[in-house]
Amino acid sequence: MNSSEEIAVSGISAGRSAMRMGPAELVQAAAMARRFYLEGKSKIQIAEEFGVSRFKVARVLETALERDLVRIEIRVPAELDAERSDALRARYGLRHAVVVESPAEEQEDAPDPENLGEVAADLLGELVNEGDVLGLAWGRSTIHMAAALDRLPPCTVVQLTGVYDAGTAERGSVEAVRRAAQVSGGEAHPIYAPMLLPDPATAAALRHQTGIARAFEYFDKVTVAAVSIGSWEPGISTVHDMLSDEERAHYASLGVAAEMSAHLFDSAGRRVGRDLGERCITVEADRLRRIPEVVAIAGGQRKAAAIGAVLRSGLVTSLVTDTAAADFLLTESAPGSRPALERADPDSV
């Protein structure tokens, strides 16, 4: 996923301005440029080879660029949008922002584009180091990401939330944790429990069960986490879909605009409906904020506003999204700070 640079060095088709250089100058400049850009030699090494000062080498290289003797072309894979990625990173203070092309014919009711998971898998391959603890939260995009993983250094993998439906564990976040651990060769700590329970007492009892408690013990050790984001509407937020009509209406009245790992946020990134967390098996928001790298994977027009809300929460440090969501995020009102960089809690402001 790293951008690649193609350096074209030519002493023949150098343009009219470069032709003012004499043939000896052209040949020398082309040779120096080849040593520097293609062979990776330092200016001091080049100066020693040609018997000139390193300042002369610097001037020659600068002239070679100015006069079109050297052309530098930066290319990234066609599906990545480098310009939007950089703009989004700067706007929100993100550590990493990767924007992929939206599908040519995006359906308004479509879930996250599946290629987000593939790109996120490559990003995790860059971010995770040997000995890290990788946390995976429930979400369709994180499940797609885990399925696309083909490289991870040895690390421990822990599940950060319960599952959407305990009966689908084999196809959901439990399997995602197993898959990531298999690729890395590390330990897996899944959570065999639903994300949402009927009441706080049941949730509290489950948290004390041996396997679940063991997974929770790893939450403070997580160094890289992958999470999904949902907007507060049917089919886009699993928590929304698990609640009754009365409960949905209640949380909607509180101004909920987004959901991430069973935490609810208004449009300004403030947490609302905190009582819901008492019924959920999930990593606490304060623990998420202490994780050094939290990568959110979400895209599409229907999730764009929700992504903006979660970015304002300061819980996320990096984002993998698509051009449809990025365009919205780059045109909506500026956050006023760089929440992802500062990890500030808007509730404490």
E-assigned strand segments in 137-292: 156-159, 188-189, 224-228, 230-231, 258-260, 263-265, 271-272
Provide the token pair at 313.
């929460």
What is the structure's pLDDT at 339? Answer: 77
The topology (CATH level 3) of 80-331 is Rossmann fold (3.40.50)
What is the structure's pLDDT at 299? Answer: 92
Mean per-residue pLDDT, 126-143: 92
What is the structure's pLDDT at 73? Answer: 65
φ and ψ at residue 324, rounded to 5 degrees: -60, -45
pLDDT greater than 60 at residue 8? no
Give CA separation, 219 vs 53, 79, 87, 290, in Å: 56, 34, 32, 10
- Local structure of 292: helix, strand or coil: coil
| CATH 3.40.50.1360 residue spans of the chain | 80-331
Degrees, nearest 5: CA angle 87-89-94: 165
No. of helices (H) and no. of strands (E), the chain: 16, 13
CA atoms of 10 and 76, how far apart (whole Å): 23
What is the structure's pLDDT at 111? Answer: 57
CATH number attached to the domain at 23-67: 1.10.10
pLDDT in tens, 64-113: 888 888 877 655 555 788 889 999 999 998 999 999 988 765 555 555 67
Mean per-residue pLDDT, 318-342: 85
pTM for the whole thing?
0.76
Q: Pairing between strand 318-322 and 293-297?
A: parallel
The one-letter amino acid at 287: R
Residue 255: which pLDDT band, with cuts at 50, 70 and 90? Answer: very high
| CATH 1.10.10 residue spans of the chain | 23-67
Which has the minimum average pLDDT: 16-20, 220-224, 292-296? 16-20
Which has the minimum average pLDDT: 39-43, 161-165, 211-215, 324-328? 161-165
Which residues fall within 8 angstroms of residue 20, CB to CB, at 6 or more apart?
Answer: 67
20 burial level (CB within 10 Å; 0-12, 13-18, 19+): exposed
What is the structure's pLDDT at 16? Answer: 39
CA atoms of 124 and 190, how far apart (whole Å): 19
